[in-house]
Chain A
Amino acid sequence: MAEPIVLAERKGFWIEERLLRQAQLGERFQVVVDPGEIRILPERTVTATLPYGATEDEARTVLAEVRAEVTALYGGQAPPPDQPYFGDLTWREYQALSEEQRRVLWDRIYADFNLEIETVEERDVRPDTLVAG
């Protein structure tokens, strides 16, 4: 566990070079300022965040489209929070679960479908099958 280090204030906050090196952030990094916190991240972490190298604008557009699609499927309004959602839980109940509790819930339900290797049914592929590679 890393020890907390209190930074000195000298015309703003001053972070010694050795500390930046110790953090192994690489040569380039980004400073992200949010309410209540300032994060210094390796540049690769920031740029690798979105799949397919999508830009923030592209991401916003896709999320807006997804929201429109799901809203339309629900008839133009959010589904009631007390409607069944997953694993015998309503959305309200599911949303109240911690990340760990959600993982455990999915694992428990998945266990019913996680067949023993020896009982798995194998299929033949075509002679002209396209092999990944």
Chain B
Amino acid sequence: MSGQIRLLLDKNVVRRYFEGVSALARGLAPTEEEQQAILLVHLARGKGQRLFIPVEISNLLQAHRHQIAPAEMLMFLKRVDVLHPSRYFKRWARRLRERTFTREDAKVLTLGTFGTDEAGRILGAHVVVTYDRPVIRKWEQERAKVAEHLLAMTSNLGSMHYGQAP
């Protein structure tokens, strides 16, 4: 059983959310992508889905909380949880870096496979949400080979049973 569908939002989705809500606060119309980000965040719970952000984004928001729009921050943080690296994160992130994903992309994709919540009750996300078209294209090209490598790696992990495609 895998519980609720889990979505991992990357930095660009978070940015669109903040920009869109800030626009609404000032009586402006959000762009199409900003609307998508707002709907994604605000409809998730009602649709039985759970949203996560990478721990780096959480750290960024917390560190800059006195400079970032406070209402938007409050609205966002109460609707998302943080995904932390679990065991094997480094190993798998290194593999993705070898496939020329950037460090940021490798870490976000790795959280999608080896990320866990505060309590360690979950492992990985079902979907990584991004507006980064180059990384989407690269992922589509590399997906089959990445899945092969993951299977090879997880089959050697001992008693922990992962066995899921990224």
Q: Which residues of A contact B (CB under 8 A)?
A: 49-52, 54, 58-59, 62-63, 65-67, 69-71, 73-74, 78-79, 81, 84-88, 91, 102-103, 106, 109-110, 112-118, 120-126, 128-133
Q: Which residue of B lies closest to A132 (CB)?
A: B124
Q: Say whether chain B's binding surface is mostly helix, strand, loop, or mixed.
A: helix
Residue from the list B22, B56, B107, B123 in contact with A130, Cβ < 8 A: B123
Are the CB atoms of A120 and B11 closer together than 8 Å?
no
Tell whether A132 pairs with B126 under 8 Å between CB atoms, given A63-B24, A78-B26, A125-B87: yes
Residue from the list B35, B71, B113, B122 in contact with A74, Cβ < 8 A: B71
20 A-B pairs, CB-CB below 8 angstroms? A50-B35, A62-B43, A63-B30, A66-B21, A67-B24, A70-B25, A70-B72, A78-B27, A85-B69, A91-B22, A103-B15, A106-B15, A110-B60, A113-B57, A113-B63, A117-B97, A120-B93, A131-B124, A131-B162, A132-B122
Beyond the given A62-B43, A130-B122, A132-B124, could you list 10 further A-B residue pairs with CB under 8 A, ordered by the A residue number? A66-B75, A73-B71, A81-B26, A88-B67, A109-B64, A117-B97, A122-B87, A123-B85, A125-B121, A126-B121
Tell whether A133 pairs with B165 under 8 Å between CB atoms, given A118-B90, A120-B85, A124-B86: yes
Tell whether A54 pairs with B43 under 8 Å between CB atoms, given A70-B25, A130-B1: yes
Are the CB atoms of B40 and A51 closer together than 8 Å?
yes
Q: Which residues of B contact A (CB under 8 A)?
A: 1-3, 6, 11-12, 15, 18-19, 21-22, 24-27, 30, 32, 35-36, 38-40, 42-43, 47, 56-57, 59-60, 63-64, 66-72, 74-75, 84-90, 93-94, 97, 103-104, 106-107, 112-113, 116, 119-126, 161-165
